[in-house]
A and B are shown apart, each in its own frame.
Chain A
Amino acid sequence: GAVVSQHPSRVICKSGTSVKIECRSLDFQATTMFWYRQFPKQSLMLMATSNEGSKATYEQGVEKDKFLINHASLTLSTLTVTSAHPEDSSFYICSAFPGQGDYGYTFGSGTRLTVV
């Protein structure tokens, strides 16, 4: 089946540093991937849509300079949280759509980011 691998699963960083999260589609090509953010005991909020070979599309209220997205290949999208602050601490999840024949988005296992 379609598998999305997300790495790292947990990361702790100091305020002011940058953190990169990777999202890989292991057995399918994904021209589009999605990045979500989840606050404790809350729902997932779409942050941005990552498009291979072009700029990401950000949702309203999401700082594109803070959350840099790069989708350089058909199997890899990265989210970089720049100059991280404690309020950026959250659970970040990526997803991808395998394509025709399986109408269901496959999610990565998520990344727990803690900024100290």
Chain B
Amino acid sequence: GDSVTQMEGPVTLSEEAFLTINCTYTATGYPSLFWYVQYPGEGLQLLLKATKADDKGSNKGFEATYRKETTSFHLEKGSVQVSDSAVYFCALDFQGGKLIFGQGTELSVKP
């Protein structure tokens, strides 16, 4: 079945470091891909999305490119801030309504 695999956390970085969170997926078809962010004690917020191959989603300095050939959607940011500390979820939507989430990656950014 469809699934999403993320790199395990927690990831700890210093402020201004480069961030990569790997995400790969398995799907029979061409899903839309998403990154969501969850701050402590809160719900999920859509960070960025891509709906077809080679699309690049971007928001708040974060980027991810939909790579069909490697079935990946890695999240990157060139310079992280303390305020980026959160849990990041990669997700796909193939069935038109049911989001399938990865296990989440906790990011901690130290000053």
Contacts and interface: CB of A to CB of B under 8 A. Distances in A.
Contacts of A109: 42-43
B101 A108 contact: no
A108 B49 contact: no
Given A44-B89, A49-B97, A109-B43, A104 B49 contact: yes
A105 B104 contact: no
Nearest to B103: A43
Interface in B23-56: 32, 34, 36, 41-46, 49, 51
A103 B34 CA distance: 10
A25 to B, nearest CB: 14
A44 to B, nearest CB: 5
Interface residues of A, number: 21
Interface in A27-82: 32, 34, 41-44, 46, 49
Q: Which of the four size classes fits the interface of chain B?
A: 20 to 34
Given A46-B98, A93-B43, A103 B51 contact: yes
A9 B5 CA distance: 29
A6 B44 CA distance: 12
A109 B45 CA distance: 9
B34 to A, nearest CB: 7
B33 to A, nearest CB: 11
Interface string B91-110: 00100011111111010000
A110 to B, nearest CB: 4
Contact of A42 (B32, B42, B99, B103): B103
Interface of B: 32, 34, 36, 41-46, 49, 51, 89, 93, 97-104, 106
